[in-house]
Amino acid sequence: MRKLKTDGLSKLLFALVMIGLILMSVALVTLPWLMDLLFRGSTFYEVVSHKKVLLLLYMTGIPAWLILWMTKNLTHNIINREPFSESSCRSLKGISLCALMIFVCYLFASIFVYATLGIVVITIGSFVVALIAAILYRLVGLAIEIKEENELTI
């Protein structure tokens, strides 16, 4: 069986995810300095504790980085024409769990801090990502079962 030619969209997605990983890594490393630079002279610093905001950003930034890493694995599987593999299943499950963790963190943050539009959007968005990733995880799992069953019958 000959391998199909890899399409450009998959490679473009892989490149975008790699750029996102690099930018996210730089942002996570320089986050304390970025916060000082962005909020210098702002009334936001007077209302909310700097350390609490930094803790929230790290608690949600690391799972977001992991989501990008697992998305890189998914795009790699698509480029290699193996989208229905156990690796894809694990990546989708991990994406779902990380997005759920981000959802819970921002849900608790919205309880203790006045919920702004940004917090509400991130909370709802992470819940939707977790839900879609969980559904895709189950679909890929079923596709793997059907694929294995078909391979046994031939």
CB 35 within 8 A of CB 52: no
What is the predicted pLDDT for the residue at 154?
62
Distance CA 136, CA 89 (A): 8
Is 123 a residue whose pLDDT tops 90?
Answer: yes
Give pLDDT tens digits for 49-95.
778 889 999 999 999 999 999 999 999 999 999 999 999 999 999 99
What's the residue count for the chain? Answer: 154
Helices (H) and strands (E) in the chain, counts: 6, 0
CB 31 within 8 A of CB 58: yes
What is the predicted pLDDT for the residue at 50?
78
Phi (first) and psi of residue 43, to 5 degrees? -75, -15
pTM (predicted TM-score)? 0.87
- Packing angle of the helix pair 50-79, 8-29 (nearest 10 deg): 160
2 pLDDT band (50/70/90 cuts)? very low
Give pLDDT tens digits for 23-42.
999 999 999 998 888 877 77
Distance CA 103, CA 70 (A): 18
- Which residue type does 39 have? F
Cα distances (Å, whole numbers) of residue 129 to 14, 75, 111, 137: 19, 17, 21, 12
- Which residue type does 93 have? K
Spans of all domains in the chain: 8-153
